[in-house]
A and B are shown apart, each in its own frame.
Chain A
């Protein structure tokens, strides 16, 4: 299996669908839709990554790996197969939960359609402030959760991973979302955390800057000089995380 397919699959499973946790909070239509859902779905790639999603009490939780109890298992023969499904060009093989297939087709697809809508902006859509906010949050969540995947499989990012030191990075968008990443040699994990706990901090001036930054459209050196982005602490950590972030667009369009 090619590195490209492995990374795409990892990003799809661990980063893209992670956004559904926020989608059910931020989008009123989806919030209403999932209000009474009680279902868990497992995505399983043969000899590959596994991720699971659970809807309960109007909330959504996405994890790496499996829940103890699961209602539906969707099986994929390969990473490529999974990626094709995410591109809308293939169907999974249901291993469990045949009675829920209708639900997946009609109801769950509304969630994934909406997710795609927020993740694929057009200049027109970005003019809408609310859309832009959600798109930024999703781009941040996707990027941050893609980091460990990129580091595992991309040869350059793997080398960068070996240069990481023990520390943590707090990324904060003023009046917007934030994220916390813990690091160590060959180690990178998204965690809960705040500025107090972080050894390195990065603050983005506003949601506009954040949107451009996480979609790879900002030249970071200039942004730092213009104070659109501010950093402090162990900034060499950010140099390395920046190198891994830079690798994302190579695999994710």
Chain B
């Protein structure tokens, strides 16, 4: 199989570092890609489940923009409505009509939602949820769980990181995933001080195997939060509309007070949402929170159409099935070459790891070999599938993976 090279990506990067801090910063920084030489940095175009980099290499995209793409790049149904809205108005002196339609659609779709509030990024609404919880309870402390990601605002980061001070974490308590005893201990130590608990619906840290909730875990957490008057906030920025369009809590059988959405809710157009119950609505209303671009109409249209599209096309089911088939195919291939490929998390956003080498060097090599052949796999982060991933993609992915395992065997 032909292997890709990235001359133009690298040339662009040389230019970028001169004028942009880090060249490419944040989660798109090439730094965690190992080896960096196996990955493209700059993208030229995308369609369906594929993207093409600036060197003309085409990839089946298993990161989906790290989550936002869910119904295929340039999805015709969604983009038709989007382009129509573009012709009319985007950001203007006032709110667009579609904002009401979108809020109604979310209330109709998401089981706990009595209302919806819109912003741009996931972190806009995770932070808003914290403020709302504090206002609602008149308490100051927040529990977040170790290894969980909720964005980049100071409260979400560890104070040993640059730019963060210990005071930023003063009212943040780190708990442990799937550990009820730990939660009870924290609550006992901070009786009547805890405003909210924020967590993803299942544990999807980077670098490590993802973990589903233990039987009864969420039911117990919900019970404790109710008893102690703690606002239960679920961060579905990554899982939203991939696991369950009613909210992943329906899959796991519990009811939070607030849910944060972004990424997949508009198939790549920039928007996020906080939804919640009527009990907390007046507290939310009191907190002044806004942004220059939060009323832009185009992403709202995109979101409305994306949600409708996913429901009409059984999106969640489709992604689950594709993820399951891919899992079987890849695990069988690994076995053929004598490797143990472990899959954790949800099939629509699985985390893969070759367990034969705990240092992850083998896994890094395999992901790199796949990427160099056109299946874009990262080794440190869960992958994403979309409704646009097809049987043809699956077949090609397995061929690529086969060749990559072969190369792995030869090189080790």
Contacts and interface: CB of A to CB of B under 8 A. Distances in A.
Interface string A210-225: 0000000001111011
A156 B22 CA distance: 23
Interface in B155-187: 158-162, 166
A226 B359 contact: no
Contacts of B166: 155
A159 B30 contact: no
A235 B36 contact: no
A221 B34 contact: no
Contact of A157 (B23, B160, B360, B380): B160
A232 B24 contact: no
Main SS of chain A's interface residues?
A: helix
Contacts of B253: none
B37 interface: yes
A224 B31 contact: yes
A199 interface: yes
Given A221-B25, A225-B24, A225-B41, A235 B162 contact: no
Nearest to B358: A199
Contact of A236 (B13, B162, B207): B207
Contact of A225 (B31, B160, B359): B31
A200 B25 contact: no
Nearest to B25: A221
A129 B269 CA distance: 53
B364 A227 contact: no
B22 A222 contact: yes
A243 B159 CA distance: 11
A27 B84 CA distance: 74
Contact of B36 (A160, A225, A234): A225
A235 B23 CA distance: 20
B160 A160 contact: yes
Contact of B14 (A160, A226, A232): A226
Contacts of B207: 234-236
A232 B23 contact: no
A234 B24 contact: no
Contacts, number: 71
A20 to B, nearest CB: 32
B56 interface: no
Q: Chain B at the A interface: mostly helix, strand, loop or mixed?
A: loop
B365 to A, nearest CB: 8
A225 B34 contact: no
Interface string B320-357: 00000000000000000000000000000000000000
A163 interface: yes
Interface string B60-94: 00000000000000000000000000000000000
Given A231-B34, A232-B364, A233-B359, A222 B23 contact: yes
Contact of A232 (B13, B31, B34, B159): B34
A98 to B, nearest CB: 47
A100 interface: no
Contact of A222 (B17, B160, B161): B17
Interface string B216-258: 0000000000000000000000000000000000000000000
Contacts of A232: 34-35, 361, 364
Contact of B359 (A157, A224, A234): A234
Contact of A156 (B13, B160, B206, B358): B160
B213 interface: no
Nearest to B29: A221
Contacts of A230: 35-36
Given A225-B41, A226-B17, A235-B32, A159 B160 contact: yes
6 contacts: A221-B30, A225-B36, A226-B13, A230-B35, A233-B359, A235-B207
Given A221-B25, A222-B22, 12 more contacts: A155-B166, A156-B160, A163-B158, A224-B30, A225-B24, A227-B36, A227-B37, A232-B35, A233-B361, A234-B207, A234-B359, A235-B34
Interface of B: 10, 13-14, 17, 21-25, 29-32, 34-37, 41, 158-162, 166, 206-207, 358-361, 364, 380
Interface of A: 155-157, 159-160, 163, 167, 198-200, 219-222, 224-227, 230-236, 243, 246
